[in-house]
């Protein structure tokens, strides 16, 4: 299998000639916390303000978390790892995900910038609103957002921290195999659940290395 260029630099390369566009492609890893923790709290408050009982709230909150894990997997596998044939398409792919594989330790391109995360969150909110009553959506959507935050924070930590917890170590190993062994497997980042279900996990021998 062809080995791609991989840099160990923590610095950010310039993606756009325009400085404003380039700045919108980078973000400090804590920014999603400032944006989405208040949103999670507000939506959760709205759920209880609409008299949703605790059991129903946590049921739909947990469903939101689970749906995020599937969303993370399918976005990573079928959107971020879609390889277009046109030169323009290849440039777009590099901007969205190729740069991360070439510069996996770039500190400012390990979590999704607000220029992408806010429009995507808005899109998903309106998508889910087509299937859920508003009161239930107020419980489901904060679970979905929490799943996204866990993904973002874990993704940053995987590239910059060494875990001592055996479960976190195994999750990190799964993602590192995706980067450094075979990028056509291991699309789950915060969980390997859907890789196991959809048979895109690494062979058992790889996980022992």
Sketch the domain layout of the chain as residue ranges.
30-164
Contact between residue 153 and residue 29 where contact means Cβ atoms under 8 Å apart: yes
Q: How far apart are the C-alpha atoms of 116 and 118, rounded to whole Å?
A: 6
Give the model confidence (pLDDT) of 3-51 as tens digits.
556 667 666 677 767 778 778 777 888 999 999 999 999 999 999 999 9
> H helices within 9-133, ranges in order?
19-24, 31-49, 54-74, 87-93, 99-102, 114-129
pTM of the model: 0.88
Give the model confidence (pLDDT) of 139-171 as tens digits.
999 999 999 999 999 998 988 888 888 888 998
């Amino acid at each position: 299998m062809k080995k791609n260029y991989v840099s160990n630099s923590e610095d950010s390369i310039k993606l756009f000639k325009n400085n404003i566009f380039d700045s919108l492609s980078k973000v400090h890893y804590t920014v999603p916390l400032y944006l989405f923790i208040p949103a999670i709290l507000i939506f959760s408050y709205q759920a209880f303000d609409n008299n949703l009982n605790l059991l129903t709230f946590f049921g739909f909150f947990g469903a939101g978390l689970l749906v995020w894990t599937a969303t993370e997997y399918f976005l990573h596998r079928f959107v971020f790892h879609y390889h277009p044939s046109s030169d323009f398409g290849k440039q777009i792919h590099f901007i969205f995900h190729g740069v991360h594989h070439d510069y996996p330790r770039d500190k400012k391109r390990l979590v999704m910038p607000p220029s992408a995360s806010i429009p995507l969150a808005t899109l998903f909110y309106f998508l889910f609103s087509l299937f859920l009553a508003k009161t239930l959506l107020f419980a489901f959507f904060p679970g979905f957002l929490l799943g996204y935050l866990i993904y973002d924070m874990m993704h940053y930590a995987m590239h910059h921290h060494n875990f001592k917890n055996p479960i976190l170590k195994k999750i990190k190993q799964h993602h590192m195999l995706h980067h450094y062994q075979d990028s056509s497997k291991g699309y789950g980042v915060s969980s390997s659940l859907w890789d196991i279900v959809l048979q895109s996990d690494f062979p058992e021998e790889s996980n022992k290395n």
